[in-house]
Amino acid sequence: MGSDSIASHATTSTAASNSTRNPVSTSSKAIESDPIEENTQYDFVLYTDGAYFKQKQLGGWGVAIFTVKHTALVSKPSHPPAKTLQTLSGCQLSHSSLEMELIAAIKALEWILMHHPKAYISLVTDAQILLEGLFVKYPNWQANQWRSNNNNPVAFAQLWQRFHQLAHLVDVHFFWTKGHFKNQGNQLADQLARQRILKISTE
């Protein structure tokens, strides 16, 4: 995987009351490489991305799920011990790329909840607005009855609420990666989202 810089925007979720890991927080620390390349503690690494074609008013979402072996890595591995386990994608009428980013993250976490609810995972996104909304703005939206600072209804409130719920139902770290910049997982998720739009638009 690529070695681009990724910033961690959160610690783990409160998946269960007897969890030994920390609850979701707004802590932030920088790490130097992709979770797959750097760390073997995760059971799965999920890459999510959304795409939006304004002229067609179509949005697509993609998820690439990688498995990570629980074995020690040799120093600076050139080939991390991971393989693509599953890809997910979809397309629908949309008016926003943010909507697709939210749906991609939701679909990824729902897949984990359905198939591996006890797994320890990381979710990687190139959408900073997704993490800012989840860890910075969400408490204010709740306190303001789902209205923004200018008193307008929060866009995609139901999606934000579902995303927040899932973040507390599974044991997950969130990471940000620069989009379309030598990160194979991110590039695959983007490709999946765009391919679904192109497939629908040419039918």
Residue-range domains of the chain with CATH: 6-201 (3.30.420.10)
**DSSP letter string, 56-98:** TTEEEEEEEEEEE-SSPPPSS-SS-SEEEEEEEEEEEE-S-HH
pLDDT: which is higher, 55 or 70? 55
Give bridge partners of residue 123 from the DSSP assignment.
Answer: 46, 174
Question: pTM score, two decimals?
Answer: 0.79
SS3 8: strand
Model pLDDT for residues 156-197, shown as the tens digit of each residue: 999 999 999 999 999 999 999 888 777 888 999 999 999 999
Model pLDDT for residues 2-49, shown as the tens digit of each residue: 333 233 334 333 333 333 333 343 333 333 356 665 545 789 999 999
SS3 203: coil
pLDDT: which is higher, 9 or 85? 85
1 has pLDDT over 70: no
Looking at residue 42, its pLDDT comes to: 85
Distance of alpha carbon 198 from alpha carbon 203, whole angstroms = 9
